[in-house]
Amino acid sequence: MAKLKRKQYEELLEPLELELVAMARWARATGARIVVLFEGRDTAGKGGAIRAVSQRLNPRQCHIVALSKPSEDEQTQWYFQRYIRHLPSAGEIVLFDRSWYNRAGVERVMGFASEDQVTKFFEQAWVFERLLTDDGILLFKYWLTTDQDNQEERLKERLEDPLKRWKLSPIDLAAREKYDAYTEARETMLKATHHRQAPWTLVDFNDQKRGRLTLIRHLLDHLPDTHVEPPAIEFPDLGRKPRSESYGVLEPIADYPVEG
């Protein structure tokens, strides 16, 4: 299947954005709490997928959570503790750019967590998520898949593009040799944490544009009826001619010169 072109992607995305705005309006009106986890291999496209979901939404309502490695204090806490403080209040949407499943993935594969810690995580994760869903939180868990040849191409792109170099970490480079280990860890994770209250959904992100559309469509299709009429807003005429902007002592910066 041919990869989507930019123009085609944007045309397909636009109606989904309208539905996402409607979803946010519904959440605000009903007090719904929505949590979406974005997991996957390095370079799979988590950041782009999160931007596609959030870019038309009010950032005061839709929050993106991308935590750095735990501090010394956080390492002494219950593992799930630092994630709890980021859970949504009524009417809010929280998008996790990686989540508590770090323990089952990168921490396990790279040796940052012991097998005892991983075992305890598997014992507690489904209980933690059941508590969230029993309390009414709508929880969605997505794993973004990508083949190794695509991963290698994207890593090279990050290395060669100075605007993307910040995305390339020593962990990313070390993970290149552990593609199969990540596959094994993922399969173990899915078996242990795929349950009725919070199932996993895998999305093919070899074509990232098509993957974003697929993920958003799935998310929207698995929410309750989100139709809420937008409030009527009157926009009366000013009754006078609009005024031009006025300035004090400082002068405005000249327009940027554009050739052609």
- Tell me the per-residue pLDDT of 67-80, one tens digit each, with 9 for 90 and over: 999 999 999 999 99
Please give the domain boundaries of the chain with CATH numbers for all domains: 14-221 (3.40.50.300)
* Residue 260: pLDDT over 70: no
Using CA atoms, how far apart are residues 69 and 129, in angstroms rounded to an integer?
A: 22
Using CA atoms, how far apart are residues 133 and 123, in angstroms rounded to an integer?
A: 17
Burial of 98 (0-12, 13-18, 19+ CB in 10 A): middle
pLDDT tens track for 31-54: 999 999 999 998 999 999 999 999
Give the chain's end-to-end CA distance (angstroms, integer): 39
Using CA atoms, how far apart are residues 83 and 15, in angstroms rounded to an integer?
A: 32
Q: What is the pTM of this model?
A: 0.91
Contact 210, 3 (CB under 8 A): yes
Task: Find all residues with CB under 8 Å of 149, minimum gap 6, and list them.
Answer: none
Structure tokens at 99: 């989540």
H or E, element range at 26? helix 6-30
